[in-house]
Amino acid sequence: MVKRGDDAPEDKELRLAFRWGVIPANAGEDPPAELKTAYDWLSTSDHPVVDLADAVVFEDVMYRLSYRLDGTPAAGETYKRRRRALNTALEHAVATGNYRRTRFKHPAGSASVLLAWWTVGSS
């Protein structure tokens, strides 16, 4: 979930830098030279979780969960795993008071929404 722009590294580089950054053994270490640019860019260009309250950002994240880097659809289980991870992050945001859970009323005849909708606020 990053802010896109002309200076953004390729998705593959971003994914590798992200994977490197989330490994606990790498905490406090400098990234390898080949990942430094992407890692530094990620560190300054990521969206805060509260940006998911914007429907455009949320829909973009949901779309990207369902595709691989090469543009082909991800396997069903891969999509489900990614969606569960996003849902867990949102539930953590609710637990820490950064988000408030709300119920979404589906318009008549629409397909079901895969994730609960969230809004910024407290409660």
Contact call for residues 14 and 42 (beta carbons, < 8 A)? yes
Comparing C-alpha atoms, which of 68, 69, 52, 73 is closest to residue 115? Answer: 52
Band of residue 114 on the pLDDT scale cut at 50, 70, 90: very low
Q: How confident is the model at residue 77 (pLDDT cuts 50, 70, 90)?
A: very high
In this model, does residue 119 exceed pLDDT 60?
A: no
User: Is 9 in contact with 38 (CB distance < 8 Å)?
Assistant: yes
Q: Is the pLDDT assigned to residue 60 strictly greater than 80?
A: yes
On the question of pLDDT at 18 being above 50, the answer is yes
